[in-house]
A = this chain, B = another copy of it.
Amino acid sequence: MRRRAMITGLAAVGLARCYPASAQGVVLPSWNDGLPRKAILDFIERVTSVGSADFMPVPERIATFDNDGTLWTEQPIYFQFAFAIDRVKALAPQHPEWKDREPFKSALAGDMASLAGIGEKGLLEIVAATHSGMTVEAFTRTVEEWIATARHPRFHRLYTDLVYQPMLELMALLRAKEFKTFIVSGGGIEFMRPWTQRIYGIPPEQVVGSSGVVRYEFKDGKPTLVKEPKVEFVDDGPGKPVGINRFIGRRPIFAFGNSDGDQQMLEYTAGGEGARFMGLVHHTDAVREYAYDRESPIGRLDKAWDEAVRRKWTVVNMKTDWGVIYPFEKK
Contacts and interface: CB of A to CB of B under 8 A. Distances in A.
Given A190-B249, A205-B250, A216-B239, 9 more contacts: A1-B4, A59-B197, A136-B245, A193-B249, A211-B246, A214-B242, A215-B242, A216-B264, A225-B242
Given A136-B245, A197-B59, A245-B225, A268 B205 contact: no
A58 to B, nearest CB: 10
A66 to B, nearest CB: 16
Given A3-B4, A223-B264, A270-B223, A245 B214 contact: yes
B214 A248 contact: no
A216 B204 contact: no
Which 6 pairs of residues, A with B, have the shortest CB-CB distance? A1-B1, A204-B249, A216-B238, A223-B271, A223-B267, A193-B249
Contact of A241 (B207, B216, B249): B216
Contacts of A3: 4
A189 B248 CA distance: 11
A24 interface: no
Most B C-beta atoms less than 10 A away, residue of A5, A180, A222, A270? A222
Contacts of A264: 216, 223
A317 interface: no
Interface in A209-255: 211, 214-216, 222-225, 238-239, 241-242, 245-250
Contact of A5 (B1, B224, B225, B270): B1
A204 B247 CA distance: 8
Contacts of A268: 216, 223, 225
Most B C-beta atoms less than 10 A away, residue of A59, A136, A203, A245? A245
A interface: dominant SS: helix
Interface of A: 1, 3-5, 59, 136, 180, 189-190, 193, 197, 203-207, 211, 214-216, 222-225, 238-239, 241-242, 245-250, 264, 267-268, 270-271
11 contacts: A1-B4, A189-B246, A204-B248, A204-B249, A205-B249, A214-B246, A215-B242, A216-B268, A222-B271, A223-B241, A225-B268
A193 B247 CA distance: 11
Contacts of A271: 222-224
Given A59-B203, A223-B271, A247 B249 contact: no
A270 B218 CA distance: 13
A158 to B, nearest CB: 22
Contacts of A239: 216
Nearest to A216: B238
Contacts of A242: 214-216, 225
A224 B268 CA distance: 7
A21 B224 CA distance: 37
Contacts of A267: 223
A208 to B, nearest CB: 9
A128 B201 CA distance: 39
Contacts of A214: 242, 245-246
A180 to B, nearest CB: 7
